[in-house]
Amino acid sequence: MMTNKEKITLITSFLDELFPNVGCELHYQKDYELVIAVMLSAQTTDKSVNQVTDVLFKKYQTLDELDNAPLEDIENIIKSIGLYQNKAKNLKGIVHKLIHVFNYVVPADKDLLMTLPGVGNKTAGVIRAEIFKIPEFPVDTHVERIAKRLSLASPNDTPLEVEMKLKKKFPKERWIKSHHQFIHFGRYFCKAQKPNCQSCKIKNICKNA
* Residue positions annotated with a catalytic role: 122, 140
Three-state secondary structure string covering 78-97: HCCCCCHHHHHHHHHHHHHH
CB 146 within 8 A of CB 195: no
CB 77 within 8 A of CB 52: yes
Closest CA to 142 of 112, 102, 189, 187: 187
- One DSSP character per residue, 14-28 reads HHHHH-SS----S--
